[in-house]
């Protein structure tokens, strides 16, 4: 029977490890770490994510602020907000919540964040540190995947890892982190020939493509470890019938929608030796790693 890799347990462990570090910072600097989140407009999904981040910060005793300018904000006005946060001594981490409204130049906004406060790990400076194996702020979701693998003592070194997806946020940094752990890494994308065949060569398969249950039995080698980073909402019954078991389908009929990852859940259960469920797998680690990055940024600034 496949082992379920419970992200909630790993999240709670990380949060517990954060508490003494926060206390040391308060004792040394006279204040807790500070996190500022900039949420432009009223995107419902982004608002949910931000509430989760601020709730966790509050639980840990991290100072947190959410700045919520109107959706009509210009790029110049957003850059001014970021410049103010860069200059504030009480703010150690800055997170610009994506997606941004279409009139805003997202690249300019992300580049404007002080790399020392870039707790998302998206700034080219921090990407460069990651690619050259130097210490720095790492993107939260890929870093969380490594934490899950290490928590459950799943070997990485020497194993064949396949990452499906090449985004700057997950796919590329995930590949680099796995390389740093001495895995042999293949990155797949829309132009990959024979995607199922390449995926079946994976001992560790990481799916980060943003398409509901796209990877099925033909993509998973028996005994592989499957890390499903995707979070997709299924809201049509035809799609639900394709993906969910009878018991989950009954839940779908009651609620009207359900979340699913990028890997077919039944295929993972049948073939994988271990896998992350959706929800409850990688997702909880993203916020936990954001808190850890904020603490690390504060420690570096107070040393």
Query: Catalytic amino acids?
Result: 53, 97, 120
- Of 101, 111, 51, 97, the closest CA to residue 74 belongs to 101
- Of 213, 200, 218, 215, the closest CA to residue 162 belongs to 200
- Of 215, 206, 203, the closest CA to residue 187 belongs to 206
Query: Do 55 and 78 meet the contact criterion of CB atoms below 8 Å apart?
Result: no
Query: Do 114 and 81 meet the contact criterion of CB atoms below 8 Å apart?
Result: no
Helices 124-131 and 171-180, packing angle to 10 deg: 30
Q: Which two tokens mark 58?
A: 């509050």
No. of helices (H) and no. of strands (E), the chain:
12, 11
């Amino acid at each position: 029977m496949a082992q379920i890799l419970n992200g909630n347990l790993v999240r709670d462990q990380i949060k517990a490890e954060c508490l003494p570090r926060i206390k040391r910072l308060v004792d040394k600097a006279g204040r807790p770490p500070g996190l500022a989140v900039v949420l432009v407009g009223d995107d419902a999904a982004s608002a949910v994510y931000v509430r989760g981040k601020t709730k966790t910060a509050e639980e840990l005793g991290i100072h947190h602020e959410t700045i919520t300018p109107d959706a009509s904000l210009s790029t110049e006005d957003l850059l001014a907000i970021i410049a103010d946060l860069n200059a504030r001594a009480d703010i150690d981490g800055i997170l610009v919540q994506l997606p941004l409204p279409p009139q805003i130049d997202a690249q300019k906004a992300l580049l404007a964040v002080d790399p020392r406060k870039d707790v998302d790990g998206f700034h080219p400076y921090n990407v460069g540190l990651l690619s050259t194996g130097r210490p720095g702020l790492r993107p939260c979701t890929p870093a969380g995947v490594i934490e899950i693998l290490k928590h459950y003592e799943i070997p990485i070194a020497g194993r064949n890892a396949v990452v499906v997806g090449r985004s700057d946020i997950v796919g590329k940094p995930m590949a680099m982190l796995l390389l740093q752990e001495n895995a042999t890494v293949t990155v797949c994308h829309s132009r990959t020939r024979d995607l199922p065949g390449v995926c079946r060569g994976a001992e560790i398969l990481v799916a980060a493509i943003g398409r509901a249950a796209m990877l099925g039995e033909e993509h998973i080698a028996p005994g592989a470890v499957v890390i499903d980073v995707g979070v997709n909402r299924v809201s049509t019954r035809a799609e639900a019938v394709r993906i969910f078991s009878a018991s989950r389908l009954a839940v779908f009929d009651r609620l009207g929608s359900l979340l699913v990852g990028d890997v077919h859940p039944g295929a993972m259960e049948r073939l994988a030796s271990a896998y992350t469920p959706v929800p409850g797998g990688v997702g909880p680690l993203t916020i936990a790693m954001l808190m850890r990055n904020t603490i690390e940024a504060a420690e570096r600034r107070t040393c």
